[in-house]
A and B are shown apart, each in its own frame.
Chain A
Amino acid sequence: MLAFLQSLLQMVWKTVTDQPSPKSLFLSHVPEEWRPLVSAFLSVLPIVMVFPMLFALTTVVERKGLGRIQNRPGPNRVGPAGFLQFAADGIKAIIKEDVVPRAADRVVHFIAPLVLVVPVLLSYSVLPFGRNLVPIDLDTGLLFFFAVGAVTELAVFMAGWSSRNKYSLLGATRAIAQMISYEIPLILSALTVVMVVGTLSLPAIAEAQGPAPGGWLCRWHFFTPWGFAGFWLFLVAACAEANRSPFDLPEGESEIIAGYYLEYSGFKFALFFLGEYLGLFAASGLGITLFLGGWHAPFAFLEGWIPGWVWFLGKLVALILLFIWVRGTLPRVRMDQLMNFAWKFMLPLTLVNMLGAGLWHFLTNPIARWGLPAVLIGGAYVVLGRGLMPRSRVGPRVYRYAD
């Protein structure tokens, strides 16, 4: 019994301090035939505990932050400075009545939130959270992530169609059109990293961004011209994939009320909310792994003595705060602007960025290696941005009133 407890404590300690194979001693106390199951359970448990909790805290921070941006206090009644608001919201969601419209397709209506949340949780299984914290080290991790992410489109359609509500169906078609359009820049911007590193395994991609031998700076892909452009393209596409402001047309509360989850109430609505945020966190985690060095520190002297998961979570929180800031700052785009931005701006830019990554990979002269991709991508950005501006002359604004 004592040895069992000791092995349990050692597992937690090894996990926290980022040591290799944290589960091995604990698993030796488990009967042989149960080991794979217990091992999988131990990998799943932290994901299911940490990320929904992060979601709960994010809702409070988001509401407080948006309140601060909009010059109002935000939630400030439950707990210290309103920080227990998520508990009140969660209890409310559980005890609320689950209203299903009479005309709704009950089976599809019931399954849709599950089809949304389960693939999103699955996508966490390939992300490297720390040096030795990878739930599954899959050779095709990146492909797995995108394949699993493709299922959410189906969930959105199921929710919108089964509700038998024209606003729901309109929101679902908008969401699917948006997701399909932005999936292409998302995958193409991630592909640059695969071209340069030469693997689809996410732990190997994170590993490749460590400090150069003798160097002081880590080789994050963010610090290269193609990686810098690729990261921002990836982030914008991920924002649109997650239906977040300024790309939140599928929700469009002022025109189609709430889009595809309009007819959901109680805990099913909370599941949609959860799935949307968990999808955003997973996409941010993938962006961190691909471009921001994964669990690596920014500087070589910080490497090793601060555990990797601290860096990963720190970067994740920074990206979440960035998304909240963007949501509080930018107005919602129009449908034609959304599609034009995806197909006329993002797609050509990601293709040029792939060319830049190829040049970076094959050139050896440092000046050409930095200069050519930078000029190529920067030039494409300027030309596309200028060329797509409306030809109309910018002058003083004219107000027209109804007579």
Chain B
Amino acid sequence: MNGITLILGLVTLAGALASVALRNLVHCALGLMVAFAGLAGLYLSLGAQFVGLVQVLVYIGAVGIVFIFAILLTRGGGSESGSLFSTSWAVGGGIALAVTGVMAAALLQSPSLDRGSVRAAGPTVRQVGESLMADYVIPLEVMALLLTAAAIGAIIVAMPEKGDPGAPPQPPPG
């Protein structure tokens, strides 16, 4: 483990801790963003450029903004009162320990540990693109159709109905 990995790991951990331990929901979302950025840095330092950059583009640029808008639109971003710890913390801790144990066992048995620390860079963007556009083009198109249907559904749900007294006034034409 070199210095860069250590620093990025600590940043990711600090962001993740902040996202569960802080009282203000917006601060939690920003802490989650720090954790995302640290993960992106880890991917980049491992040579997975595409995954690292998409992590920033999708998680910080899109998912994070959606989180923040959801917080602002629902609770106004106020601070949470009451105890920080849930009453069922023992169950939660047990589940967390079990998950960590299973993952550690899987990692220790994984063949990737035997390959040593020096590895060739992962699949390039060209390889990712070629397999997406050649081998997996039909799943990709199905996903695109699904997302389009979801977007249309969201618009229909949000669209004001005719004669609805609560509908916002239409903007003037032009």
Asked if residues B50 and A143 are in contact (CB atoms below 8 Å), the reply is yes
Asked if residues B30 and A153 are in contact (CB atoms below 8 Å), the reply is no
Interface residues on A, range: 20 to 34
A139 with B125, Cβ < 8 A, contacts A144-B53, A336-B171 known:
yes
Q: Which residues does chain A contribute within 8 Å of B124, judged by CB atoms?
A: 139
B18 vs chain A, min Cβ distance (A): 11
A140 with B53, Cβ < 8 A, contacts A154-B65, A176-B65 known:
yes
Q: Is B60 an interface residue (CB 8 A)?
A: yes
A105 vs chain B, min Cβ distance (A): 8
Q: Bound state CA distance, A105 and B26, in angstroms? A: 11
Q: Which residues does chain B contribute within 8 Å of A38, judged by CB atoms?
A: none
Q: Bound state CA distance, A216 and B74, in angstroms? A: 61
Q: Is B21 an interface residue (CB 8 A)?
A: no
Q: Is A286 an interface residue (CB 8 A)?
A: no
Instruction: Kindly supply a per-residue 1/0 record for chain B positions 43-82, scoring 1 wherever the CB is within 8 Å of any chain A CB and 0 otherwise.
Output: 0000001100110110011101100110010000100000
Asked if residues B64 and A143 are in contact (CB atoms below 8 Å), the reply is no
Q: Bound state CA distance, A200 and B54, in angstroms? A: 14
Q: Which residues does chain A contribute within 8 Å of B166, judged by CB atoms?
A: none
A158 with B30, Cβ < 8 A, contacts A140-B125, A151-B60, A151-B61 known:
yes
Q: Which residues does chain A contribute within 8 Å of B35, judged by CB atoms?
A: none
Q: Is B174 an interface residue (CB 8 A)?
A: yes
Q: Is B173 an interface residue (CB 8 A)?
A: yes
Q: Bound state CA distance, A87 and B86, in angstroms? A: 56
Q: Which residues does chain A contribute within 8 Å of B62, judged by CB atoms?
A: 150
Q: Bound state CA distance, A108 and B30, in angstroms? A: 9
A150 with B61, Cβ < 8 A, contacts A336-B171, A392-B173 known:
yes
Q: Is A214 an interface residue (CB 8 A)?
A: no
Instruction: Kindly supply a per-residue 1/0 record for chain B positions 135-173, scoring 1 wherever the CB is within 8 Å of any chain A CB and 0 otherwise.
Output: 000000000000000000000000000000000000101
A147 with B26, Cβ < 8 A, contacts A140-B49, A180-B65, A200-B125 known:
no
Q: Which residues does chain A contribute within 8 Å of B30, judged by CB atoms?
A: 108, 154, 158
Asked if residues A143 and B57 are in contact (CB atoms below 8 Å), the reply is yes
Which one of B26, B49, B57, B69 contacts A138 once the chains associate, using CB atoms below 8 Å? B49
Asked if residues B56 and A150 are in contact (CB atoms below 8 Å), the reply is yes
Q: Which residues does chain B contribute within 8 Å of A157, judged by CB atoms?
A: 65, 68
Q: Is A4 an interface residue (CB 8 A)?
A: no
Q: Which residues does chain B contribute within 8 Å of A200, judged by CB atoms?
A: 125
Q: Which residues does chain B contribute within 8 Å of A213, judged by CB atoms?
A: none
Asked if residues B173 and A143 are in contact (CB atoms below 8 Å), the reply is no
Asked if residues B174 and A392 are in contact (CB atoms below 8 Å), the reply is yes
- Most chain-B CB neighbours within 10 Å: which of A150, A151, A161, A390? A150
A390 with B173, Cβ < 8 A, contacts A148-B56, A161-B77 known:
yes
Q: Bound state CA distance, A262 and B65, in angstroms? A: 21
Residue ranges of B at the interface with A (Cβ–Cβ < 8 Å): 24, 26-27, 30, 33, 49-50, 53-54, 56-57, 60-62, 64-65, 68-69, 72, 77, 124-125, 171, 173-174
Pairs across A and B, CB under 8 Å, 20 listed: A105-B24, A108-B26, A108-B30, A140-B125, A143-B49, A147-B53, A150-B57, A150-B60, A150-B61, A151-B56, A151-B61, A154-B30, A154-B33, A154-B61, A154-B65, A157-B65, A161-B26, A200-B125, A334-B171, A391-B173
Q: Which 7 A/B pairs are nearest by Cβ-Cβ distance?
A: A150-B61, A147-B56, A336-B171, A390-B174, A147-B57, A147-B53, A390-B173
Other A-B contacts than A140-B49, A151-B61, 9 sampled, CB-CB below 8 A, are A108-B27, A140-B50, A144-B49, A147-B61, A150-B60, A153-B65, A154-B30, A161-B68, A391-B173
